[in-house]
Amino acid sequence: MEKNFIEVMRKKLIDAKAELVSNLITSSVDFKSLVEKLDVRDMVDSASDDIDRKMIEAIGIQDMKRLRLIESALIRIEQDKYGLCMRCGKRIAQTRLEAIPYAIMCIGCQSSEERRNR
């Protein structure tokens, strides 16, 4: 994956996260104190169920999911794994990443995942 491309995606992700978080902060006072206590790494850690539950209450499941995906994508950039599918390890199409910077699965895995959850 090209470094320049990753850098562009990283900026997009950070912007998206900032936007999401600022929306949340204005929509919930409680959430602000929650965010301040949060360590990024806690959010991808399954041990933080309590924080998850509180955040879901505060922000709703859709935004919560999106926030987690953005966090995961940022961590994958740090680990040099950005753009690789989490399930099969293949490259995610660049056009897909441009449309969804926080995509962590290739289109094939994503659709089989969605079928499974239905």
x/- map, 36-75, Zn ion, by CB under 5 A? ----------------------------------------
CB of 73 to Zn ion, least distance (A): 15
Region of 106 on the Ramachandran plot (φ > 0 left; ψ -120 to 50 alpha; else beta): beta
Instruction: Report in angstroms the alpha-carbon separations of 96 from 83, 88, 117.
Output: 10, 16, 21
**Taking the CB of residue 73, how many other CB atoms lie within 10 A of it?**
24
Task: Kindly state the smallest distance separating residue 108's Cβ from Zn ion, in Å.
Answer: 5
DSSP label at 105? S
- Contact characters 77-116, Zn ion, x per CB under 5 A: --------x-xx-----------------x--x-------
Binding site for Zn ion (CB under 5 A): 85, 87-88, 106, 109
